[in-house]
Structure 1
């Protein structure tokens, strides 16, 4: 299935699609704030922003089912889930050795930022985002 196969969904009006897109941008911007702050030294993003974005994605994903926007909601959910798992798995590095922990978390944060920016670029082009 190509990106173009899932753009037009019968029964979806333009207002509903624009509403989903607006929620998608809100979520991406919240993720972006958290991702940038995670990469910038001494910046402390609020986990609350990430949780708000995650709740938006979980609630709106079903509404986007069958559209090109569905992939964006799933993309953000998977990005948060994998980043969370990777942070937890590498937590012992922080506790035992500072430098390896800092390197691991920096790489995870850069990867997370990349995923958010990549998704935003695809959203701006009205394309599904694919792994």
Structure 2
């Protein structure tokens, strides 16, 4: 176990329950965006992703020292990296339609994988790797 993770008994149970609830809300919003990004013609609103990201950014400090911290960081990194990758591959859409579609499909699948992996770890109350 990571030395940065505080003993669960040292943190108020209500705090842990609240972090878990907010974590699930964020994961579900991310999952909606991720699934609709993979399915053609079903793009969810970017607003859902922004709401989930704001939840993660606001609640992250309350999770410091708990296993929940890794989940908040995981979701934030997932959004940032996928956003960077979408921006970097956007020129492919302008120059070559098929490579752009393939690149964005791969990014969307990677994002979906990250969200599902996080949800599985959350259900087992396990931290995610840094």
Q: 1:44 to 1:92 in 2, by over 3 A?
A: same
Please report the TM-score for the alignment, with normalisation by the length of structure 2.
0.95
Q: Return 5+ residue gaps in structure 1 as ranges.
A: none
Distance 1:62 1:82 in 2: 21
TM-fit CA distance, 1:10 = 6.4
In the other structure, the counterpart of 1:42 is: 41
Contact 2:37 2:44 in 1 (8 A): yes
Alignment length (residue pairs):
130
Question: Runs in 1 of length 4+ with deviation above 6 angstroms?
Answer: none
In the other structure, the counterpart of 2:32 is: 33
Superposition map of 1:23-102 within 5 A: 23-102=22-101
Distance 1:116 1:30 in 2: 10
Q: How much is the aligned-residue C-alpha RMSD, in angstroms? A: 1.5
TM-fit CA distance, 1:17 = 0.4
Q: Return 5+ residue gaps in structure 2 as ranges.
A: none
User: What secondary structure is seen at the aligned counterpart in 1 of 2:11?
Assistant: coil
